[in-house]
Chain A
Amino acid sequence: MSATTSTVAVTIEVNGKARRLEVEARTLLVHLVREQLGLTGTHVGCDTSNCGACTVLLDSLAVKSCTVLAVQADGSTVETVESLAPPEGPLHPIQEGFRQEHGLQCGYCTPGMLMATKSLLADNADPDEDEIREALEGNLCRCTGYEMIVRSIRWAVEHPNGLEDPS
Protein backbone atom coordinates (compact mmCIF):
# COMPACT_ATOMS: atom_id res chain seq x y z
CA MET A 1 0.00 0.00 0.00
CA SER A 2 1.26 3.47 -0.76
CA ALA A 3 1.98 5.83 2.08
CA THR A 4 -0.72 8.00 3.59
CA THR A 5 -0.22 11.55 2.42
CA SER A 6 -2.18 14.65 1.58
CA THR A 7 -0.03 15.58 -1.43
CA VAL A 8 0.52 13.10 -4.18
CA ALA A 9 2.78 12.93 -7.22
CA VAL A 10 0.76 12.15 -10.34
CA THR A 11 1.64 11.53 -13.96
CA ILE A 12 -1.16 12.29 -16.36
CA GLU A 13 -0.98 12.39 -20.14
CA VAL A 14 -2.84 15.56 -21.07
CA ASN A 15 -3.53 16.16 -24.75
CA GLY A 16 -0.75 13.77 -25.72
CA LYS A 17 1.89 15.16 -23.39
CA ALA A 18 2.95 13.44 -20.16
CA ARG A 19 2.75 15.83 -17.22
CA ARG A 20 4.27 15.11 -13.83
CA LEU A 21 2.67 17.16 -11.10
CA GLU A 22 2.51 17.38 -7.36
CA VAL A 23 -1.10 17.82 -6.28
CA GLU A 24 -3.00 18.11 -3.06
CA ALA A 25 -5.10 14.97 -2.74
CA ARG A 26 -8.29 17.06 -2.75
CA THR A 27 -7.46 18.79 -6.05
CA LEU A 28 -10.19 18.28 -8.59
CA LEU A 29 -9.23 17.31 -12.12
CA VAL A 30 -10.85 20.45 -13.51
CA HIS A 31 -8.68 22.62 -11.27
CA LEU A 32 -5.54 20.75 -12.27
CA VAL A 33 -6.40 21.27 -15.93
CA ARG A 34 -7.35 24.93 -15.64
CA GLU A 35 -5.06 26.25 -12.92
CA GLN A 36 -1.97 24.07 -12.93
CA LEU A 37 -1.85 23.48 -16.68
CA GLY A 38 -3.51 26.72 -17.81
CA LEU A 39 -5.92 24.92 -20.12
CA THR A 40 -8.87 27.21 -19.52
CA GLY A 41 -11.01 25.89 -22.35
CA THR A 42 -12.54 23.48 -19.85
CA HIS A 43 -15.13 25.44 -17.90
CA VAL A 44 -16.49 25.14 -14.38
CA GLY A 45 -20.25 25.52 -14.58
CA CYS A 46 -22.48 24.19 -11.84
CA ASP A 47 -19.63 22.47 -9.99
CA THR A 48 -22.08 19.75 -8.93
CA SER A 49 -21.80 17.22 -11.81
CA ASN A 50 -25.03 18.39 -13.41
CA CYS A 51 -24.21 20.79 -16.23
CA GLY A 52 -21.37 19.11 -18.12
CA ALA A 53 -19.42 22.32 -18.91
CA CYS A 54 -16.33 20.67 -17.37
CA THR A 55 -16.56 17.54 -19.55
CA VAL A 56 -13.20 16.10 -20.62
CA LEU A 57 -12.24 12.66 -21.89
CA LEU A 58 -10.58 10.44 -19.29
CA ASP A 59 -9.13 7.34 -20.95
CA SER A 60 -11.35 8.18 -23.93
CA LEU A 61 -14.62 8.40 -21.96
CA ALA A 62 -16.46 11.65 -21.28
CA VAL A 63 -16.43 12.50 -17.57
CA LYS A 64 -17.28 15.55 -15.49
CA SER A 65 -13.91 16.81 -14.32
CA CYS A 66 -15.45 18.71 -11.39
CA THR A 67 -16.29 15.35 -9.83
CA VAL A 68 -13.02 13.52 -10.43
CA LEU A 69 -10.01 13.95 -8.16
CA ALA A 70 -6.74 14.60 -9.97
CA VAL A 71 -5.27 11.62 -8.12
CA GLN A 72 -7.93 9.41 -9.70
CA ALA A 73 -6.56 10.38 -13.11
CA ASP A 74 -2.99 9.38 -12.20
CA GLY A 75 -1.63 7.16 -14.97
CA SER A 76 -4.52 8.00 -17.29
CA THR A 77 -4.92 10.04 -20.44
CA VAL A 78 -6.94 13.24 -20.40
CA GLU A 79 -8.19 15.06 -23.48
CA THR A 80 -9.50 18.59 -23.19
CA VAL A 81 -11.15 20.80 -25.79
CA GLU A 82 -7.71 22.19 -26.66
CA SER A 83 -6.84 18.80 -28.13
CA LEU A 84 -9.42 19.02 -30.90
CA ALA A 85 -7.54 21.36 -33.24
CA PRO A 86 -4.26 23.30 -33.30
CA PRO A 87 -4.63 27.05 -32.67
CA GLU A 88 -3.87 27.98 -36.27
CA GLY A 89 -5.15 24.84 -37.92
CA PRO A 90 -8.48 23.90 -39.39
CA LEU A 91 -11.23 23.30 -36.87
CA HIS A 92 -12.09 19.76 -35.86
CA PRO A 93 -15.18 18.55 -37.75
CA ILE A 94 -17.23 18.73 -34.54
CA GLN A 95 -16.12 22.34 -33.98
CA GLU A 96 -16.79 23.18 -37.61
CA GLY A 97 -20.26 21.69 -37.27
CA PHE A 98 -20.98 24.00 -34.34
CA ARG A 99 -19.81 26.94 -36.48
CA GLN A 100 -21.75 25.94 -39.57
CA GLU A 101 -24.99 25.23 -37.75
CA HIS A 102 -24.74 27.94 -35.07
CA GLY A 103 -24.46 25.41 -32.25
CA LEU A 104 -23.48 28.06 -29.72
CA GLN A 105 -24.47 31.48 -28.54
CA CYS A 106 -22.65 32.43 -25.34
CA GLY A 107 -20.31 29.46 -25.73
CA TYR A 108 -20.01 28.58 -22.07
CA CYS A 109 -21.29 25.03 -22.47
CA THR A 110 -19.55 24.48 -25.81
CA PRO A 111 -16.27 22.85 -24.70
CA GLY A 112 -18.25 20.28 -22.73
CA MET A 113 -20.65 19.77 -25.64
CA LEU A 114 -17.74 19.20 -28.01
CA MET A 115 -16.04 16.65 -25.77
CA ALA A 116 -19.29 14.81 -24.98
CA THR A 117 -19.88 14.68 -28.73
CA LYS A 118 -16.43 13.26 -29.34
CA SER A 119 -17.19 10.49 -26.84
CA LEU A 120 -20.58 9.85 -28.47
CA LEU A 121 -19.12 9.58 -31.98
CA ALA A 122 -16.47 7.14 -30.76
CA ASP A 123 -19.31 4.88 -29.55
CA ASN A 124 -21.64 5.52 -32.47
CA ALA A 125 -20.36 7.07 -35.71
CA ASP A 126 -23.84 7.79 -37.08
CA PRO A 127 -26.19 8.74 -34.24
CA ASP A 128 -29.72 9.81 -35.08
CA GLU A 129 -31.40 12.78 -33.42
CA ASP A 130 -32.76 10.75 -30.49
CA GLU A 131 -29.38 9.18 -29.85
CA ILE A 132 -27.69 12.58 -29.94
CA ARG A 133 -30.18 14.06 -27.49
CA GLU A 134 -29.79 11.12 -25.16
CA ALA A 135 -25.99 11.24 -25.29
CA LEU A 136 -26.05 14.93 -24.39
CA GLU A 137 -28.44 14.58 -21.47
CA GLY A 138 -25.57 15.42 -19.15
CA ASN A 139 -24.76 18.71 -20.89
CA LEU A 140 -26.92 21.76 -20.29
CA CYS A 141 -27.19 24.71 -22.68
CA ARG A 142 -29.24 27.71 -21.60
CA CYS A 143 -29.04 29.56 -24.93
CA THR A 144 -29.80 27.42 -27.93
CA GLY A 145 -32.68 25.18 -26.94
CA TYR A 146 -30.48 22.35 -28.28
CA GLU A 147 -31.96 22.36 -31.80
CA MET A 148 -28.85 23.86 -33.38
CA ILE A 149 -26.57 21.69 -31.27
CA VAL A 150 -28.24 18.57 -32.62
CA ARG A 151 -27.90 19.93 -36.18
CA SER A 152 -24.25 20.78 -35.53
CA ILE A 153 -23.51 17.22 -34.54
CA ARG A 154 -25.33 15.85 -37.56
CA TRP A 155 -23.19 18.20 -39.68
CA ALA A 156 -20.07 16.68 -38.12
CA VAL A 157 -21.37 13.17 -38.77
CA GLU A 158 -21.98 14.02 -42.42
CA HIS A 159 -18.60 15.78 -42.80
CA PRO A 160 -16.08 13.52 -41.05
CA ASN A 161 -13.25 15.50 -42.65
CA GLY A 162 -14.75 18.89 -41.84
CA LEU A 163 -14.71 21.53 -44.53
CA GLU A 164 -12.45 19.38 -46.69
CA ASP A 165 -15.43 17.17 -47.52
CA PRO A 166 -17.21 17.92 -50.79
CA SER A 167 -20.60 19.29 -49.82
Chain B
Amino acid sequence: MIPASFDYVRADSVEAALAALAEHGDEAKLLAGGHSLLPLMKLRLARPEVLVDIGRLDELRYVREDGERIRIGALTTIRQLEFDETLATHVPLLAATAHEVGDPQVRARGTIGGSLSHGDGASDLPAAALALGATLVVQGPAGTREVAAADFFLGFLESAVGPDEMVTEVVVPKCGSAGWSFQKFNRRAQDWAIVGVALVHGNGTGPTGIGLVNMAGHPIRARAAEAALAQGASPAEVGAVAAEGTEAPNDLHASAEYRRHLARVLVDRAAAQAAQAGPSSS
Protein backbone atom coordinates (compact mmCIF):
# COMPACT_ATOMS: atom_id res chain seq x y z
CA MET B 1 0.00 0.00 0.00
CA ILE B 2 1.34 3.39 -0.99
CA PRO B 3 -0.09 6.80 -0.10
CA ALA B 4 -1.68 8.89 -2.82
CA SER B 5 0.67 11.49 -4.28
CA PHE B 6 1.28 14.65 -2.34
CA ASP B 7 3.59 17.62 -2.42
CA TYR B 8 6.28 17.55 0.22
CA VAL B 9 7.40 20.59 2.17
CA ARG B 10 10.15 20.31 4.74
CA ALA B 11 9.79 23.00 7.39
CA ASP B 12 12.96 24.24 9.02
CA SER B 13 11.19 26.27 11.71
CA VAL B 14 7.83 26.49 13.46
CA GLU B 15 7.22 29.72 11.57
CA ALA B 16 7.90 28.01 8.24
CA ALA B 17 5.52 25.19 9.15
CA LEU B 18 2.79 27.67 10.08
CA ALA B 19 3.39 29.60 6.85
CA ALA B 20 2.97 26.41 4.85
CA LEU B 21 -0.25 25.60 6.69
CA ALA B 22 -1.51 29.14 6.08
CA GLU B 23 -0.73 28.79 2.38
CA HIS B 24 -2.30 25.38 1.84
CA GLY B 25 -5.11 25.41 4.43
CA ASP B 26 -7.23 22.28 4.70
CA GLU B 27 -5.24 20.55 1.96
CA ALA B 28 -2.15 20.30 4.16
CA LYS B 29 -1.26 17.99 7.02
CA LEU B 30 1.64 18.11 9.44
CA LEU B 31 3.97 15.12 9.40
CA ALA B 32 5.87 14.43 12.63
CA GLY B 33 6.60 10.75 13.35
CA GLY B 34 3.90 9.70 10.91
CA HIS B 35 2.62 6.78 12.95
CA SER B 36 -0.97 7.99 13.01
CA LEU B 37 -1.04 9.78 9.66
CA LEU B 38 0.87 7.42 7.37
CA PRO B 39 -1.29 4.34 8.09
CA LEU B 40 -4.37 6.44 7.24
CA MET B 41 -2.71 7.69 4.06
CA LYS B 42 -1.69 4.18 3.00
CA LEU B 43 -5.31 3.06 3.37
CA ARG B 44 -6.32 6.22 1.45
CA LEU B 45 -8.52 7.22 4.37
CA ALA B 46 -6.53 10.46 4.31
CA ARG B 47 -5.33 12.09 1.08
CA PRO B 48 -3.66 15.37 1.94
CA GLU B 49 -2.42 17.36 -1.05
CA VAL B 50 0.57 18.66 0.90
CA LEU B 51 2.60 17.17 3.73
CA VAL B 52 4.49 19.63 5.87
CA ASP B 53 7.33 17.69 7.48
CA ILE B 54 8.11 19.06 10.93
CA GLY B 55 10.10 16.00 11.95
CA ARG B 56 13.41 17.82 11.92
CA LEU B 57 12.44 20.61 14.31
CA ASP B 58 14.73 19.38 17.06
CA GLU B 59 13.97 22.50 19.10
CA LEU B 60 10.59 20.86 19.82
CA ARG B 61 12.20 17.75 21.32
CA TYR B 62 12.76 18.25 25.05
CA VAL B 63 11.55 17.47 28.55
CA ARG B 64 12.39 20.17 31.08
CA GLU B 65 11.44 21.29 34.54
CA ASP B 66 9.76 24.66 34.99
CA GLY B 67 8.93 25.19 38.65
CA GLU B 68 6.01 22.95 39.56
CA ARG B 69 5.49 21.90 35.94
CA ILE B 70 7.23 19.86 33.29
CA ARG B 71 7.35 21.18 29.74
CA ILE B 72 7.52 18.64 26.93
CA GLY B 73 8.25 19.60 23.34
CA ALA B 74 5.63 18.36 20.89
CA LEU B 75 8.14 16.32 18.88
CA THR B 76 9.42 14.38 21.88
CA THR B 77 9.08 10.75 20.90
CA ILE B 78 7.12 8.27 22.95
CA ARG B 79 10.37 6.37 23.47
CA GLN B 80 11.93 9.52 24.94
CA LEU B 81 8.99 9.88 27.33
CA GLU B 82 9.38 6.23 28.30
CA PHE B 83 13.04 6.60 29.29
CA ASP B 84 13.13 10.20 30.53
CA GLU B 85 14.41 10.45 34.09
CA THR B 86 12.74 13.80 34.79
CA LEU B 87 9.37 12.29 33.91
CA ALA B 88 10.10 9.11 35.84
CA THR B 89 10.73 11.25 38.92
CA HIS B 90 7.99 13.87 38.58
CA VAL B 91 5.29 12.46 36.29
CA PRO B 92 5.69 8.69 36.48
CA LEU B 93 2.17 8.13 35.11
CA LEU B 94 3.22 9.64 31.78
CA ALA B 95 6.42 7.59 31.51
CA ALA B 96 4.54 4.40 32.40
CA THR B 97 1.76 5.17 29.91
CA ALA B 98 4.36 5.80 27.19
CA HIS B 99 5.79 2.35 27.87
CA GLU B 100 2.38 0.80 27.11
CA VAL B 101 1.96 2.49 23.71
CA GLY B 102 2.22 0.20 20.68
CA ASP B 103 5.61 -1.51 20.52
CA PRO B 104 9.25 -0.34 20.62
CA GLN B 105 9.38 0.44 16.90
CA VAL B 106 6.23 2.56 17.10
CA ARG B 107 7.47 4.32 20.23
CA ALA B 108 10.72 5.20 18.44
CA ARG B 109 8.82 7.23 15.84
CA GLY B 110 5.54 8.42 17.36
CA THR B 111 5.51 11.79 19.12
CA ILE B 112 3.49 13.17 22.02
CA GLY B 113 2.27 16.13 19.97
CA GLY B 114 1.23 13.87 17.13
CA SER B 115 -0.58 11.43 19.35
CA LEU B 116 -2.52 14.14 21.16
CA SER B 117 -3.31 16.10 17.97
CA HIS B 118 -4.58 12.95 16.29
CA GLY B 119 -7.00 12.61 19.21
CA ASP B 120 -7.81 8.93 18.77
CA GLY B 121 -10.12 7.67 21.51
CA ALA B 122 -8.22 4.36 21.44
CA SER B 123 -4.82 5.96 22.16
CA ASP B 124 -3.13 5.72 25.53
CA LEU B 125 -1.38 9.09 25.85
CA PRO B 126 -4.53 11.24 25.62
CA ALA B 127 -5.96 9.43 28.65
CA ALA B 128 -2.82 10.26 30.64
CA ALA B 129 -2.98 13.90 29.47
CA LEU B 130 -6.61 14.10 30.65
CA ALA B 131 -5.86 12.47 34.00
CA LEU B 132 -2.94 14.83 34.63
CA GLY B 133 -4.84 17.95 33.60
CA ALA B 134 -2.21 18.70 30.95
CA THR B 135 -2.16 21.94 29.02
CA LEU B 136 -1.41 22.03 25.30
CA VAL B 137 0.40 24.98 23.83
CA VAL B 138 -1.00 25.68 20.36
CA GLN B 139 0.69 28.05 17.96
CA GLY B 140 -0.98 29.65 14.96
CA PRO B 141 -1.04 32.78 12.83
CA ALA B 142 -2.73 34.72 15.64
CA GLY B 143 -0.04 33.74 18.14
CA THR B 144 0.13 31.20 20.92
CA ARG B 145 -2.75 29.95 23.03
CA GLU B 146 -3.09 27.36 25.75
CA VAL B 147 -5.79 24.71 25.73
CA ALA B 148 -6.57 22.45 28.66
CA ALA B 149 -6.56 18.76 27.76
CA ALA B 150 -10.14 18.64 29.07
CA ASP B 151 -11.15 21.07 26.29
CA PHE B 152 -8.89 19.64 23.59
CA PHE B 153 -10.58 16.45 22.37
CA LEU B 154 -13.77 17.48 20.60
CA GLY B 155 -14.95 14.46 18.62
CA PHE B 156 -13.87 11.53 16.49
CA LEU B 157 -10.27 12.35 15.45
CA GLU B 158 -11.14 15.97 16.04
CA SER B 159 -9.13 18.24 18.31
CA ALA B 160 -9.11 21.91 19.16
CA VAL B 161 -6.15 22.52 16.83
CA GLY B 162 -7.23 24.55 13.83
CA PRO B 163 -6.07 23.69 10.28
CA ASP B 164 -3.55 26.56 10.43
CA GLU B 165 -2.24 25.73 13.92
CA MET B 166 0.11 23.24 15.51
CA VAL B 167 0.74 21.92 19.01
CA THR B 168 4.23 22.96 20.06
CA GLU B 169 4.35 21.95 23.72
CA VAL B 170 2.58 19.87 26.34
CA VAL B 171 2.72 21.07 29.94
CA VAL B 172 2.03 18.69 32.81
CA PRO B 173 2.05 19.32 36.57
CA LYS B 174 4.60 17.61 38.76
CA CYS B 175 2.85 14.89 40.66
CA GLY B 176 4.82 14.92 43.91
CA SER B 177 3.78 11.90 45.94
CA ALA B 178 0.47 11.44 44.13
CA GLY B 179 -0.65 7.85 43.65
CA TRP B 180 -1.12 6.80 40.07
CA SER B 181 -1.89 3.82 37.84
CA PHE B 182 -2.19 2.97 34.18
CA GLN B 183 -4.36 -0.03 33.38
CA LYS B 184 -4.62 -1.43 29.88
CA PHE B 185 -6.75 -4.40 28.93
CA ASN B 186 -6.06 -5.93 25.57
CA ARG B 187 -5.95 -9.35 24.00
CA ARG B 188 -2.45 -9.32 22.50
CA ALA B 189 0.74 -7.59 23.54
CA GLN B 190 0.85 -4.70 21.07
CA ASP B 191 -2.89 -4.21 20.53
CA TRP B 192 -4.81 -1.07 21.16
CA ALA B 193 -6.52 -1.15 24.54
CA ILE B 194 -10.03 -2.59 24.54
CA VAL B 195 -10.35 -0.30 27.54
CA GLY B 196 -7.62 1.59 29.35
CA VAL B 197 -7.48 3.81 32.41
CA ALA B 198 -4.99 6.50 33.42
CA LEU B 199 -5.52 7.60 37.02
CA VAL B 200 -3.68 9.99 39.29
CA HIS B 201 -4.73 10.82 42.84
CA GLY B 202 -2.95 13.77 44.41
CA ASN B 203 -4.56 13.71 47.88
CA GLY B 204 -4.41 17.48 47.87
CA THR B 205 -0.71 17.60 46.94
CA GLY B 206 -0.93 17.03 43.22
CA PRO B 207 -3.34 16.57 40.34
CA THR B 208 -6.33 14.23 40.57
CA GLY B 209 -7.98 12.87 37.46
CA ILE B 210 -9.04 9.84 35.47
CA GLY B 211 -8.75 9.47 31.69
CA LEU B 212 -10.35 6.59 29.80
CA VAL B 213 -9.15 4.83 26.64
CA ASN B 214 -11.70 3.57 24.14
CA MET B 215 -14.79 4.50 26.14
CA ALA B 216 -16.01 6.98 23.53
CA GLY B 217 -15.21 8.08 19.99
CA HIS B 218 -12.63 10.43 21.44
CA PRO B 219 -10.51 10.52 24.61
CA ILE B 220 -12.67 11.28 27.65
CA ARG B 221 -12.52 11.79 31.39
CA ALA B 222 -14.43 9.63 33.83
CA ARG B 223 -15.99 12.65 35.51
CA ALA B 224 -18.24 10.88 37.99
CA ALA B 225 -15.39 8.65 39.10
CA GLU B 226 -13.07 11.67 39.34
CA ALA B 227 -15.55 13.36 41.67
CA ALA B 228 -15.82 10.23 43.80
CA LEU B 229 -12.03 9.93 43.95
CA ALA B 230 -11.64 13.57 44.98
CA GLN B 231 -14.20 13.05 47.76
CA GLY B 232 -12.25 10.15 49.21
CA ALA B 233 -14.53 7.32 48.06
CA SER B 234 -13.19 3.77 48.19
CA PRO B 235 -11.73 2.21 45.04
CA ALA B 236 -14.87 0.08 44.68
CA GLU B 237 -17.08 3.16 44.92
CA VAL B 238 -14.92 5.03 42.40
CA GLY B 239 -15.01 2.07 40.01
CA ALA B 240 -18.77 1.69 40.34
CA VAL B 241 -19.41 5.01 38.59
CA ALA B 242 -16.56 4.76 36.05
CA ALA B 243 -18.82 4.17 33.04
CA GLU B 244 -21.21 7.05 33.77
CA GLY B 245 -21.30 9.60 30.99
CA THR B 246 -19.27 7.45 28.61
CA GLU B 247 -20.22 6.42 25.08
CA ALA B 248 -18.48 3.08 24.84
CA PRO B 249 -18.19 1.88 21.25
CA ASN B 250 -19.49 -1.46 20.00
CA ASP B 251 -17.02 -3.16 17.68
CA LEU B 252 -15.62 -6.56 16.82
CA HIS B 253 -13.32 -6.52 19.86
CA ALA B 254 -15.95 -5.85 22.50
CA SER B 255 -19.55 -4.81 23.05
CA ALA B 256 -20.34 -1.50 24.69
CA GLU B 257 -21.71 -3.37 27.69
CA TYR B 258 -18.46 -5.34 28.11
CA ARG B 259 -16.46 -2.13 27.82
CA ARG B 260 -18.52 -0.51 30.58
CA HIS B 261 -17.83 -3.56 32.74
CA LEU B 262 -14.10 -3.29 31.99
CA ALA B 263 -14.10 0.42 32.82
CA ARG B 264 -15.65 -0.28 36.24
CA VAL B 265 -13.19 -3.08 37.00
CA LEU B 266 -10.11 -1.26 35.73
CA VAL B 267 -10.91 2.03 37.48
CA ASP B 268 -11.43 0.08 40.72
CA ARG B 269 -8.03 -1.58 40.23
CA ALA B 270 -6.36 1.69 39.28
CA ALA B 271 -7.74 3.49 42.34
CA ALA B 272 -6.62 0.63 44.57
CA GLN B 273 -3.15 0.64 43.05
CA ALA B 274 -2.85 4.42 43.34
CA ALA B 275 -3.78 4.16 47.03
CA GLN B 276 -0.84 1.85 47.71
CA ALA B 277 2.69 3.02 48.23
CA GLY B 278 5.03 2.60 45.29
CA PRO B 279 2.45 2.16 42.57
CA SER B 280 3.48 0.67 39.26
CA SER B 281 1.98 0.10 35.87
CA SER B 282 0.42 -3.18 34.95
Binding site for B on A (CB under 8 A): 1-2, 4-6, 8, 24-28, 31, 47-50, 52, 55, 58, 61-64, 67-69, 71-72, 116, 119-120, 133-135, 137-139
Contact = CB atoms under 8 A, between A and B. Distances in A.
A68 B109 contact: yes
B252 interface: no
Q: How would you classify the secondary structure of chain B's contact residues: helix, strand, loop or mixed?
A: mixed
A1 B12 contact: yes
A69 B51 CA distance: 11
Given A6-B5, A25-B7, A26-B6, A67 B38 contact: yes
Given A26-B6, A61-B108, A138-B105, A47 B42 contact: yes
Contact of B35 (A24, A27, A67, A134): A67
A49 B34 CA distance: 11
B7 A62 contact: no
Nearest to A67: B38
Contacts of B142: none
Given A47-B1, A67-B35, A72-B53, A5 B7 contact: yes
Contacts of B12: 1-2
Interchain residue pairs A-B with the least CB separation, the first 3: A138-B103, A25-B8, A137-B189
Contacts of A62: 104-105, 108
B104 A69 contact: no
B166 interface: no
B46 interface: no
B94 interface: no
21 contacts: A1-B20, A2-B10, A4-B7, A4-B50, A6-B8, A26-B4, A48-B42, A50-B190, A62-B105, A67-B109, A68-B34, A68-B38, A69-B34, A71-B8, A71-B10, A72-B31, A116-B104, A119-B104, A120-B104, A133-B189, A137-B103
Interface string B1-20: 11111111111100010011
Nearest to B4: A26
A6 B10 CA distance: 12
B79 interface: yes
B155 interface: no
Contacts of A133: 189
Contacts of B53: 71-72
A52 B103 contact: yes
A10 to B, nearest CB: 11
B10 A67 contact: no
A55 B108 CA distance: 12
B162 interface: no
B7 A135 contact: no
Nearest to B38: A67
A135 B105 CA distance: 9
B9 A4 contact: yes
